[in-house]
Amino acid sequence: MKNQKMYEADDKMISIIRDNYNILQSLGSFGINLGFGDKTVKEVCEEQKVDTYTFLAVVNFTINGYKEYDNADRLSLPTLLHYLKASHAYYIDFQLPFIRKELVDALDENDNLARLILKLYDDYAHSITNHMKYEEKMVFPYVQALIEGNANYSFDIETFSKHHVQVDQKLKELKSIIIKYLPSDGLHNNQLSATLYDIYNNEEWLAHHSEVEEEIFIPAVRNAERKLKQNDVSAKISNMINQTPMSDEQLSDREKDVIVALVQGMTNKEIADHLFISINTVIT
């Protein structure tokens, strides 16, 4: 059952963990170490150099599915990128090998069904590792370049979004085989039950991870792409205006500002508010 509380910067960090122990791994992926006492979310994030707004956006979405953060511009791409990279490292380097060891300990390697289970798990681990490695090779460097203000128009986040799917069919088959068909004695039954519990937990974690990418990371990258393209266009238009001689009279600085704003896609009202002028002045 979901906890319907919307956590805020002034809440105690320990309260979030007490209410939702399953976000412990999220803390690690953000680079937040334990031992923070009774400090608030804001205090802990500031001390450990994590963007508070972005941390809360991910935590509230993971816990309750809240994604109505009020300002996408405030999401920190560097924080999100660090979070996703660390999450990948946790899953590939720790969680996948850990569950495989649990399976090996709980299964009879001489049993054909046990060998099938291990093969299904290895196939799943290979697929999910390749999926994450693709993101690390193609997506993360692209986003890092965006953060640094460098445009790469040969790739965009929409390309990634269209192919962003969960790779979990083999895991579902594996769970079904264990539950339905694998005989075991009391000891091995306990081991298999514990392993299944870990598999279900990690399947849920991976689903949350994928949803964070879809609902928070990808929109934040789209926003960064849009702003970078607008800045590029604005710079080109400004340069063109400054270098092009006018036959009658030069444009005023205010007229140049209006042209740049129009190219950026701003409405007349937005331009008026941005430049502190009337809408009539914008139109004329």
Closest CA to 32 of 19, 14, 50: 50
DSSP 245: P
Same domain, 63 and 86: no
Rounded to whole angstroms, the Cα distance separating 50 from 61 reads: 17
**Domain limits for position 65:** 13-70
Q: Per-residue confidence of the chain (284 residues) as pLDDT tens digits?
A: 455 789 999 999 999 999 998 899 899 999 999 999 999 999 999 999 999 999 999 999 998 887 666 577 889 999 999 999 999 999 999 999 999 999 998 888 788 888 888 999 999 999 999 999 999 999 999 999 999 988 776 778 887 887 666 667 778 888 888 888 776 666 677 888 899 999 998 888 888 999 999 999 999 998 888 888 777 666 656 665 666 555 555 667 777 777 777 666 676 777 888 888 887 776 66
pTM for this prediction: 0.79
Rounded to whole angstroms, the Cα distance separating 267 from 274 reads: 10
Q: Structural domain tally of the chain?
A: 3
Same domain, 27 and 130: no
Question: Whose structure tokens read 């791994």?
Answer: 25
Instruction: Judge whether 226 lies within some domain.
Output: no
Same domain, 163 and 255: no
Same domain, 85 and 110: yes
Which CATH number characterizes residue 250's domain? 1.10.10
Same domain, 33 and 170: no
Same domain, 39 and 147: no
Closest CA to 255 of 274, 236, 241, 267: 241
Look up residue 150 and give its two tokens: 């460098």
- Cβ contacts of 160 within 8 Å, gap of 6 or more: 135, 138, 139, 218
